[in-house]
Structure formats: C-alpha cells, structure tokens
Amino acid sequence: MANQDPKLYPPGDIVFLDRGEGTTALIHLHGATIISWKCNGVENLYLSQSSVFDNKKAIRGGVPVVFPNFGPWPLGPQHGFARIKRWSIAVPPRKDHNGDVIVLFTLDADDETLAMWNYKFKLVYTIVLTPTTLMSTLVVHNKDTKSLGFTCLLHTYFRVANIETTAIEGLQGLIFSDKLKDGKEVKETRKQITVDKNYDRVYKDAPKTLFISSGPDPARNIELVTFNFPDIVVWNPWEQKAKEMSDFDDDGYKEMICVEPGKVIVPITLEAGQQYECKQTLICKL
Ligand SMILES: O=P(O)(O)OC[C@H]1O[C@H](O)[C@H](O)[C@@H](O)[C@@H]1O
C-alpha cells in the first residue's frame, strides 16, 4: 500500500483530504482518480503497486471516472478520456460546519477532447469525506448547442481482505450480461456473490444499496449507495489476466474486487443546456 502515501506524490498532482482520526482521502488530478480512502486508518481502496503514474496512462486502481464511454470506444481510448485528462480544482478542500471535508473538481472540453468527441461539456465532480463516508457526485453538463449522448461509470476498486472471503450482496434476482460469454444474459440466483475466477458482468436495474464484505482481518464491510447509476459492473481479472496486465500486481486479484456503479447499458442523451447527476456513496460499516 506504499503508493497510497501522499508524501510520494508531487504536491501539485494530488489533493489530500483529512477528516481527522485516521479518516482521509487522496485524489490524483490525473483523472480526478481517488487513489486512497481510509476510515480509522484502514484502507478501503485497492491501488495496484504496479500502477504507472506518468500522467498519461489511466491509474490502475482507486476510483477512475469513466466518461463519455464505458468499454471499447471507436472514437477514442477504452473507457473514454475523463480518466486520463488532468482535472482542475474548482474549489480547494475546505471543512464545513460539521468538520466534513469537501472538494470540487472540473473537466471541460478542450482541443484534444473535441478532436475525438465533438461536444462541449463540463464535468463537475464533488467529493465529500465524513467520518464514515466518501461521497462522489458527478454532474455532466451539456455546454453545446446540440444534444449529446454518453455512458459513464465510477470504476471503484475495493480493497478486500481476501477475495476468498469476500461477498457482494444486493444483486440477487437481477439479470446480468456476461462480457466473458459474448454478453450472454443470465439471472443471478445468489444472495451472496462470491468470485473465484475471472468475472466481467454488467448487472441491470440494480437496487440503490449494495454491500461488499470481506473479513476477517483486516475486516472491511462497505455499504455502497447509488443515485442515477442503475447498472453495476462486477470485475475481477483473476490470475491469468492480472499477469497479462503490466500495471496490475500479479497477486492483486486476491485483494480487490471492482464493483462499479454506472449508467452504461442505455446511454444518456442530454439536450443543449441539460445536465445529468449521478452519485456513489461508500459507507464504512466498521
Ligand atoms: O483495463 P481497463 O481499460 O482499465 O478496464 C478494466 C475493466 O473495466 C471494466 O470492469 C470492464 O467491464 C472490463 O471489461 C475491463 O477489463
């Protein structure tokens, strides 16, 4: 977890939020990627030790922002450009009257984004850290004179104590599309979803509250609450694919699970001047 230490980064590249009593968050301006969220000193996000920090490649872990496209994209890089652009700090970290810490980041269209996706837009990303929660709200503004369409997702890499003792709850009865079987649709029958191989699934019409639990030591128990994110992607590359990715630790798959809230199955269309707000709240239950 060495690379989740804020001292390792040039101060101009990161924003550090400190709620006190070991509750902190670290955001890299490359992609506005949250690379650490600790509750009472316990790290809840997985960040690959092999991740490259060259301000070009997407950061491998934490919470990359996927926009304006989830998955392979004929117009540009996989998962869009938001995770590989440098974001601006619109409002630097400040404490509110409760002592909670809030920071706002923005990303606007520029020559590079317009060359691949010819729309003027603004993304406003608000992160709030309370003693037990990390709230991330993304608002997509159409700043153009024409309508635009997009998909988006928060690619959250949860750090788990041990993948063998990790379970996701809340997806029972849903239909998922299995990306490893040409998108074959399957009904999830399990109350507790455990992962023991390469998973890449998109669950449809998910409830607003899910639970990710892994124990026993160091125990983690996170509630995930979403707003306007009806789809949930569950991904773990497992052993072979982890080895094939140069920026993924060979054994990293044992200590992570991606549970990614998104709006990816049916794209959003925004008319000129309209906006779309979506949000994930991670609640530390311990
Ligand atoms: O390697 P990346 O571009 O970061 O994508 C990592 C993964 O993201 C999502 O979870 C997708 O469903 C996977 O298909 C993809 O492999």
The ipTM is 0.99
CA 38 to chain centre: 15
Q: Which residue matches tokens 């037990």?
A: 132
Q: Which two tokens stand for residue 238?
A: 């497992």
- Do residues 107 and 87 lie in contact, with contact meaning Cβ atoms separated by under 8 Å? yes
For residue 217, the model assigns a pLDDT of: 67
Residue in 56, 57, 59, 78 to alter for ligand 1 test, most ligand atoms within 8 A of Cβ: 78
Q: Known binder of ligand: residue 60?
A: yes
Active site residues: 155, 260
> Rounded to the nearest 5°, which phi and psi values hold at 74?
-65, -25
For residue 2, the model assigns a pLDDT of: 72
Distance of alpha carbon 250 from alpha carbon 241, whole angstroms: 9
Distance of alpha carbon 10 from alpha carbon 13, whole angstroms: 6
Spans of the chain, pLDDT less than 50? none
Distance of alpha carbon 98 from alpha carbon 96, whole angstroms: 5
* Ligand 1 atom showing the smallest separation from residue 241 Cα: 16
Residue in 47, 234, 235, 246 to alter for ligand 1 test, most ligand atoms within 8 A of Cβ: 235
* Ligand 1 atom showing the smallest separation from residue 58 Cα: 4
Q: Across the chain, how many H-helices and E-strands are there?
A: 2, 21
Distance of alpha carbon 239 from alpha carbon 249, whole angstroms: 10
> Rounded to the nearest 5°, which phi and psi values hold at 189?
-100, -15
Entry pTM:
0.98
Of 122, 130, 127, 143, which is closest to residue 91 (Cα–Cα)? 127
